[in-house]
Structure 1
Amino acid sequence: MSKVKVIDMTSKEQKVYSGYEAALSRVVQRRRKPGDNSTLSDEENPDVDGKRIEKRLEGNFFDCPSLRHNFALIMRSAEDEIRRFDRAARFEEDRAVGLEHEIEKLTEIVDAEESEVNHLKKALFLIKKFEDEVTFHSGCDTNLTSEAISSWVSLIREECANLVEMPVLMASIARPMLDNSLARWNPLKDAVSSWNPLTDTVPVHTWLHPWLPWFGGVERLSCLHDMVLQKLGSCLTNWHPSDASARSVLMPWRTIFPVTSMAAFLSRHVVPKLALALQQFQLNPAKQNMDPWNWVMRWADLIGPAVLVNLLEHHFWSRWLSVLSSWLNQGVEARQRGDHTAAGQVYQEVGRWYAGWKGQLPPECMEYASVKDALTKALAMMERSMRGLPTQEPQVSKQGQSDVSRYPAGSSGVLPPAFGSSTPLVAPPPTTLRKQVEQVAAQRGFLFHPISNRMFEGQQVYRLESLQVFFDRNVSYVYNPSDGGWLPVTFAELMTRAQY
């Protein structure tokens, strides 16, 4: 053992010994406490019993703290791994139990689905059989009546109440048949189609308008509006303004029809008749018949003040001013003869006549320029006559027989002369583009009137059918809703747009 090379690595520095005895003695010296001078006995001498000393000191010689620490880490890691495997094993056991329960549930679901499949096969068989029966009896009348539906429903309730396939059968077979029957069922349209305004005593609005709330508003019944307008227009062909029943029929539809549709209808069927009534209206201060005037005025709320003012401008004011001029000239002639009593009586009667006619005008028409202009001219003529000067014949466009030809009617349409005058009133040719548009619109039955409180760059805006147009220096401009601008158009293009 003395020749064995021993390397001591238990200290900071590596040491090499020539045998175990030297290494052991060195270890004993290093472990001996300070101040301990005792020496080994003869029995403990390495030369006497080295093996016994080597065995006694073997544990201290291989004592390594780092190695013990590493062994402890390995042991704890192994214990953690064992615990992890134990938890995983228990989890797999629980998962296996859960899968067994899931298999049992899925087995029950599969059995239930198989039962449903069997029921559906039976239902499909019944549907196929029903379709075969329908195909076989395809030549029969398939229109469902209320009696047939009632008997069929009773039969289903009695014999098929417990049939689980009934909802599917009704949805696939009965529902399309009911939808088809309801699609062909148009009771309101059929009733309006058979309605005759000339013979039926019950107005159509009394039984049609109560349906509006159920249909969710006027728009849902717009498909019937054209039919109603067509029937009302046909019955107004031979209508005369003295018949007030037409207004009572149209009044309930005032808020139902769209504004443009109602205005176009009145422009085609009512306004021409009112214009003819004004043209045939005889102005006679001595014995005035106001019936034609009242016929026109009772339509003021329907046609609107703008259309009414337009009618007065073209068919009333010129003759009214002419009558006033002739009457005032009688007063001037009386003054020239020195008959001041007769002249004063004429002026008093003229004043009452003027005030009476002014009171006949609807208040909403008093703000229009043409009405103000006519009344201002009348006052100027009266003031001139009271100063003893003859009145000048008003330079107002007079619509005579040519205007009557625009509105064909049962009468001859000849305008009776005022105060026995035999001079025919001939319409002069249009001098401006606006007058030309107005004349052509009247000939074609187009709606054309100024829009109240609607101006653009100081120019009056007019409505021509569904168009908005104004005139500037004999050029027409049409409003473009897409960009909010005004486009210049020619006369032909303007008439084409108004037509379509």
Structure 2
Amino acid sequence: MAEDERKAKAAKRRAEEKAARARNKDNEDAFAGTSSRRDGGGRNSRANDDVGSFEKHTKGIGMKLLEKMGYKKGEGLGKGASGISRALETQLRPKNMGMGFNNFKENVNDPTRSSKREDDEGEASEDDMDRAREQSMWKKRNELRRQKREYKTAEELLAEEQENASSVQTTTNKLNIIDMRGAHATVVNANELHKARVVRAGEEDIMLPELQHNLKLVVDLAESDITKLDGKIRSEKDTQEILRREKIRLSKVAEAHDELAARTKSALALVEMCNTHGKACDTAEQFDALTQSWMEVVKQFPKEYYGHRLNRLALAHAAPYVRAMYKSWDLSKDPTLGVDILRPWRSLLSPELVPDEYKGVFEDDSYEDLLRDPMLSRLRPIISSKWDPTKPEDILNFVQAWSDVMPEALMREITHALVLPRLQRRVGEWEPTKERVALHVWFHPWLPMLHKNLKDLYPSIRQKFTVSLAEWEASDSSALTLLKPWQRVFEAKDWSSLMRRCVTPKLEDALAMLQINPSNQVLDPVRTVLKWESMLGPSAFITLLEQHFFRKWHAALHKWLTASNVDLDEVAQWYIGWKTVFSEELLSHERMRVQLNVALDMMNQAAAGEGVVMPNVAAPQPTAPLADERPVPHPMDESTMSLKEMIEEFANAHELEFIPSASGRRHDGLAVYVFGGVSVVVDTARESIRALIDGDWTPISLDQLLDRARAIKR
């Protein structure tokens, strides 16, 4: 039945194609007759219409153009008639046949083959199409356009199998294939394997081959379904596992959100309590309750407090009470007001005390904002106009009490912007000879906080010391009280220069008036000088004794030993008594021992009965000290003074100021000083002085500088 149906379809297709070819031929004849009439009937035969038959579409213009180019009927185209003499004719392709299907070739219009081709074309194309359709049935199915399924018999399959085996036999004779279908892999020839798979039609041991074939199809389909179902099951299991894990994750997220919601609810309850306390905060007890509430919030819910920046709300609660507390504050009566009650708020509002895990959450210092306006509004007028720096207790007590409570930036603003300018003005007004309170009493307490900033005042202070010591006498101990506290404040070179200019000359005068009298010795001038030992330093002090004491002392001893009635025991007691006057530090110095050994040598000469020789104390002694211990030149020798010290001495002698410029100006890398109102620079390298005159830095002498300073002063 399948074969009959297939033959009927093929016959039907052949009939349709023949009818189509007949219609095409009639159309061609009609076009050819029309062209013949236009051309005068010169193209009646089919052979003459081969070339230029396209004129049926071009109204005869094509043939005219060919004849103008030398074309003759019945000959080829081109020069020498070497081209084609007949036009190409397309062949109608059978219905539903693709390009190049089954090696089908389009033929040219050949009169000798045209009739045979037309007769055989239908049969050949029909058979090819049938075979192609049969083969395509076993290939990929067209799901969009389903066709009627055709089944093959076992004989047809075996015949095709045998045909395929014979076609590939020649190519598989030498091809070996690994057969892994059994329990063990075996190597077989491809031809033998092919033969082993062929089922012979005449074999009697195969029963019901059609059934076996259909069963194989059913098994393959079942296997395919099983594979698909297995893949789907695996996919569903994977999806189930993913969903299970996602469920666990979401459950944990939900639990975390529930816990966060509970914590937020509890934190909100505490914050609402703080808000209640903040609205009714008029007394110290109520403010303490507000403080405790906010401390509890930070203790129980630090993440919520720092994460939501509740410090701004806490600042809003505390600020009204703090402003009211300092509104009528009297610094002199209660300098520590608010220290204890505001100490806990630093941990609440200051970004410096935020835990490490919450660093950076506070954009500004809320604690500083809490204190700045209320305190500064009261401190600024008090410090600037009412405070007397000679009575620093109030401000000092305030600073010391708030040192570990107040923010560093606010404390620095109070000390540097308020206290420091007031101290500078007071130092400028200070007069050592008229003030009852010593400068160090109220100035030194500020050194730990303002040491670097107070250095600019030291030249002015030394200038005032120099002026005040101009009329001082060594017997007056007030100078020692005035200067001793400053020894560790000034730098060593500045202190040495001050001592050399102001103190050493006075001590020299005191020693010059000393009389060495063994019978009635007065030690008060010596003890007055010895009080300055620590102030001058061992080396400078021994130099003073060498030049102004030991010369007299050695002369008095020599005179006594050369007397006729000398008592050496009294001389020894006198010598021991003088040694007790000096300190152990002085006696241990090498240069001091040299001077005492001179006295011992004279005493030994007298005891031995030899003549006592007066030593030349200016000449080097046999036990001379080391190079770095040798006596220095006279303290007032100008060759040891720098140019700057000379100018400072010159200014002091004429009662003029010589201090660094308050603005800290520099010119050519040199510091600018003020000499009696004239701006000058001291070039130590060139040993020159330049003054700012009419906008130019001009070299100037000390006398010219003095005249200019006096003119400005007038």
TM-score with structure 2 length normalisation?
0.36
Q: Which has the higher contact order (CA 8 A, sep 6+)?
A: 1
- Structure having the higher Rg: 2
TM-score with structure 1 length normalisation?
0.49
